[in-house]
Chains A and B, each alone.
Chain A
Amino acid sequence: MSIWNYANPTLFMSLSKRILPTTTVITLVLIITGTCWGFFLTPNDYQQGSSVKIIFLHVPAALIAINSWFVMLISSLIWLIRRHHISALVAKAAAPIGLTMTLVAIITGMIWGQQMWGTYWAWDPRLTSFLILLLFYIGYQTLWRAVENPDVAADLTSILCLVGTIFAILSRYAVNFWSQGLHQGASLSLDKEEHIHDSFSNPLYICMIGFVFLFITLLLVRTRTEVLKRQIDSIERRKGYFNA
């Protein structure tokens, strides 16, 4: 059975209904473990004190903020190429989650920044590129809301997402050119030596995986809602047709 079978709404609904409880439990366990471990069982940093512990929300939120756009990109591509409705709805469902996570990352970053840099906001490349990401999310969602025909809306938003991705990446590196930053470089890396002590990185990894599962759970719930909404719409339309 190929993965494309789940593009069938009925199959998708039954599968997602089956796996939702599991992902919910995994999310709760991981996030509760990760944050409790992070907040209560790690030592204070010798320079930053306990304010460093906001990292357990800041980094996972930023991770999801970027990857949620990536999910939108892939499902937009699938929609444009294979025209599976579920895919378009996944893209639609991912946008508000990404927007929220971007806001969470920005706000936690501001609180942290106030402690460490003495300012809530600086026009630093990383901070600015998150602000730009926020603008892209807002534009994308506005377009979904503005188009009435759902298929045309899916088309247009997919194109916007594809082109937007290129420009988001371009802007990300253009702002590097424009200002030198306060924000440190990447602390976690898959292939390089890490700049973070084990006692912090372990709970951080748990939080990050927890946020990934949180994203999956929310995405499934939101996509299910969108599918149900689509079904209700078509039922209503048929009813109107018979009444007329």
Chain B
Amino acid sequence: MISILKRDILLSIRSGSGFTLSLSFFFLIIILIPLAIGPENTKLQSITPGILWISALLSCLLSLDRMFQSDFEDGTLEAFLLAPVPLEGIVFAKAIAHWLTTGLAITLVAPIIGFLYGFDQSTSLWMFLALLVGTPSLSFIGAFGASITIGLKRGSLLLPVLIMPFFIPTLIFGSQTVWQASTGLQMINSFLFTAGVSAFVISLMPFAAALAINSALK
């Protein structure tokens, strides 16, 4: 599992597809929004929680279709089936690798965004924490979506349509956390809900994805 994790991280960094692409995509959205909305900080701050999560979600989607697709095309996935690690473990490792290269990267730059949009320190901190516990669920739900569209002709187009509704709970709780933090409300409940959704998704999705991969490879 560790070796799959390492392999996937290296692949995404060296092939120049996943890592830099999603991060720059995320940054681009974050920078384009003020240009479209206007530069007043108050206006920006009221929509930032939503913008933040929507752009995290989109940049996560961007690299999802490659999660299993390239391994499926060159037969690596079938070789994984023969490995001593159960398929669930492989899905888990690949989802973690995806999270480390997209979700975590986005989380780490979140304080910079707080600074750009003129938030105070505690809001930036909560932004960071909410993304830290919330983005894993994006990657794991994404792993499920990627596994279900393996081998489909228009899989990469189908994937967002299938998977977007699944992001709703994370999106709601995550942006509520940031919104409540920015307006000085009690944010701990939404934060715990975000974490709860993530924990649930992490424990459920590898099994569902393994089931889907098994039937797709049959």
Residues of chain A at the chain B interface (Cβ within 8 Å): 132, 135-136, 138-139, 142-143, 146-147, 152, 155-156, 159-160, 162-164, 166-168, 170-171, 174-175, 177-178
Contact = CB atoms under 8 A, between A and B. Distances in A.
Interface of B: 144, 148-149, 152-155, 158, 161-166, 168-169, 172-173, 176, 190, 193, 197, 204-205, 208, 211-212, 215-216, 218
Contact of B166 (A143, A156, A164): A164
B152 A146 contact: yes
B167 to A, nearest CB: 9
A174 B158 contact: no
A163 B168 contact: no
B148 A143 contact: yes
Nearest to B218: A152
Nearest to B193: A177
Most chain A CB within 10 A, of B144, B148, B173, is at B148
Contacts of A142: 158, 161-162
B215 A139 contact: no
What secondary structure prevails in chain A residues at the interface with B?
A: helix
Contact of A177 (B154, B173, B212, B216): B173
Contact residues of B: prevailing secondary structure: helix
Contact of B162 (A139, A166, A178): A139
A162 B208 contact: yes
Given A159-B208, A171-B168, 10 more contacts: A132-B165, A139-B165, A142-B161, A146-B158, A152-B216, A156-B215, A160-B148, A167-B165, A167-B168, A178-B176
B162 A147 contact: no
Contacts of A136: 165
Given A143-B158, A174-B173, A178-B176, A156 B165 contact: no
Contacts of A168: 165
Given A146-B158, A152-B215, A163 B208 contact: yes
A164 B190 CA distance: 22
A174 B165 contact: no
Contacts of A174: 168-169, 172-173, 193
18 contacts: A136-B165, A139-B161, A139-B163, A142-B158, A143-B148, A146-B158, A152-B215, A155-B212, A155-B216, A156-B148, A159-B208, A164-B165, A171-B165, A171-B169, A174-B173, A174-B193, A177-B176, A178-B176
